[in-house]
Amino acid sequence: MKFTDRHKNRLLKGFILFFFILMFLFPYASYKGASSGLMLWFYNVLPTLLPFIIISNLMIRINIADKISAVLYPVLGRLFKVSPGGCYPILIGFISGIPMGAKSVADLSAEGKVNYNESHFLLGMCNNASPIFIMNYIAINQLKMPGIRVPLFAIIYGSSVISAIICRNYQNHYKRKQTHTVLSISSAASINQYKTVRFSFDILDKSIMNGFEVITRIGGYIILFSIFAQIINEIGPSPSFYKAIIMGIFEITTGIDQVCKIRMDSNIKIVLVSFLTSFGGLSGLAQTKSVLGESRLSTKTYINIKILSSFIAILLSLLYVLFLKG
């Protein structure tokens, strides 16, 4: 184990040094990438996510999230086989996407309101690209196909749900995890035991400060991955199939943009963007890791679910373009 960790540490240090050299060799690309990443964060991510993070923090701290979960549980609990406490992250994740899905799961896990094993299931299922990003940016702005907005959303979110369910069943069968029945009963009982927490400005202050801390970390990751993606874009001919895939693996926004600029069949583009969006990119992974905080949730499990999800998305998108797309 120590041998593996030592080499992993050396690999990461080598990559950081390599990144620094690339920034030195491509100063304009680094500047352009940093600028585009900063503008993306300032004009889109900051005003969209920051208020959402603050209010979500507040609702969890004063137990409003518990009441929302109780209302959603009769439907979502039966549909996804989750405990009452697990319904709130599903709602937040499906509405706002990465990394709010992960943050809501981590917050509830840290508060002891969601079981550790169920948290991994929710983390893999609830943390995807937002519906607005999928239906507006990808379907309309990039692919120029308004008619595939709903099918594309169904492919990406469906692959995420399927992969999370597969991983949960695998864990329950081979790793002797607690059964869903026990989780549901224990979680339902624990939710009813929560004491009423009154609103206070101290809680609001902590929610605001946590929101700024999280959004700043997210901004840093967006800028760094935007720089790397821009440097890749400067190397070799553009647009290029392999370059677009590599860029998409690192950061899906620029990667999808490059995929849609390549002259190839539109059905192939649909399959490729479904694959990249379901995976979420290394930038999305870094943002997810940054919001997990002290929850001790496994990033490895999350990565496994996202990899499986990306390949399921390929299968679903192929079925769509071959048999359902008009």
7 occurs within a structural domain:
no
Burial class (CB in 10 A: 0-12, 13-18, 19+), 22: middle
pLDDT tens per residue across span 247-287: 999 999 989 999 999 989 999 999 999 999 999 999 999 99
9 occurs within a structural domain:
no
In this predicted structure, the answer to whether residue 81 has a pLDDT above a threshold of 80 is: yes
117 occurs within a structural domain:
yes
CA distance 20 to 240: 24
In this predicted structure, the answer to whether residue 237 has a pLDDT above a threshold of 80 is: no
pLDDT on residue 183: 38
In this predicted structure, the answer to whether residue 161 has a pLDDT above a threshold of 60 is: yes
53 occurs within a structural domain:
yes
Confidence category of residue 175, pLDDT binned at 50, 70, 90: low
CA distance 278 to 309: 6
pLDDT tens per residue across span 87-128: 999 999 998 889 999 999 999 988 888 888 899 999 999 999
User: How many domains does the structure of the chain reveal?
Assistant: 1
CA distance 266 to 213: 41
Q: Which amino acid makes up residue 179?
A: T
The whole-chain average pLDDT of the chain stands at 87
128 occurs within a structural domain:
yes
pLDDT on residue 61: 87
Residue 258 in contact with residue 249, Cβ under 8 Å?
no
Residue 252 in contact with residue 225, Cβ under 8 Å?
no
In this predicted structure, the answer to whether residue 180 has a pLDDT above a threshold of 60 is: no
pLDDT on residue 103: 92
19 occurs within a structural domain:
no
312 occurs within a structural domain:
yes
Q: What is the DSSP letter of 76?
A: I
56 occurs within a structural domain:
yes
Helix residue ranges per DSSP H, 145-261: 149-174, 180-192, 201-234, 241-250, 252-261
**The model's pTM:** 0.86
In this predicted structure, the answer to whether residue 23 has a pLDDT above a threshold of 90 is: yes
pLDDT tens per residue across span 293-316: 777 888 888 999 999 999 999 999
5 versus 266: which is more confidently predicted?
A: 266
Measured from the Cβ of residue 321, the count of other Cβ atoms closer than 10 Å reads 20
35 phi and psi angles, rounded to 5 deg: -65, -45
**Host domain of residue 314:** 35-324
DSSP for 20-59, please give it.
HHHHHH-HHHHHHHHHHHHHHIIIIIHHHHHHHHHHHHHH
Mean pLDDT of the region 168-197: 53
